[in-house]
Amino acid sequence: MVYQIKNYSFDKARREGVVIFPSTNKLKKIDVFKNGRKVASIGGIRKNGIPYNDYPTYKKTIGRTKADKKRQAYLKRHAHEKDIKNKEYTPSYYAKKILW
């Protein structure tokens, strides 16, 4: 199953000044590029090929109210992860900004 990148993620990526494509890593959803250089692979795909849900997927399947709660839980669960390492944004940062 190939993950279909949602318009939500394309819009968020554009705001971040990056370009996104389907990942070449079979266990990731999206590859993030900045200035033509790959800077991150984000979004998990289980070994059985089923992607983990993200905000736009939840919003479509369970509605905005419940999706907002899922987003809050995701952001709280990942709040301890650094956004910048070695003066560059981390994959965690891009996941938060593009998928959530």
Q: Which residues contact 38 (CB under 8 A, 6 or more apart)?
A: 31, 32
Give me the domain span that covers residue 17. Answer: 7-99
Q: Is residue 25 part of a domain?
A: yes
Q: How many domains does the chain have?
A: 1
The predicted model gives 33-59 an average pLDDT of 96
Q: Is residue 60 part of a domain?
A: yes
Residues 73 and 17: their CA atoms lie apart, in Å, by 26
Q: Is residue 1 part of a domain?
A: no
The predicted model gives 36-63 an average pLDDT of 96
- Confidence check: pLDDT of 51 > 70: yes
The alpha helices in 17-62, defined as continuous H runs, are 55-62
CB 51 within 8 A of CB 42: no
Q: Is residue 2 part of a domain?
A: no
The predicted model gives 3-18 an average pLDDT of 97
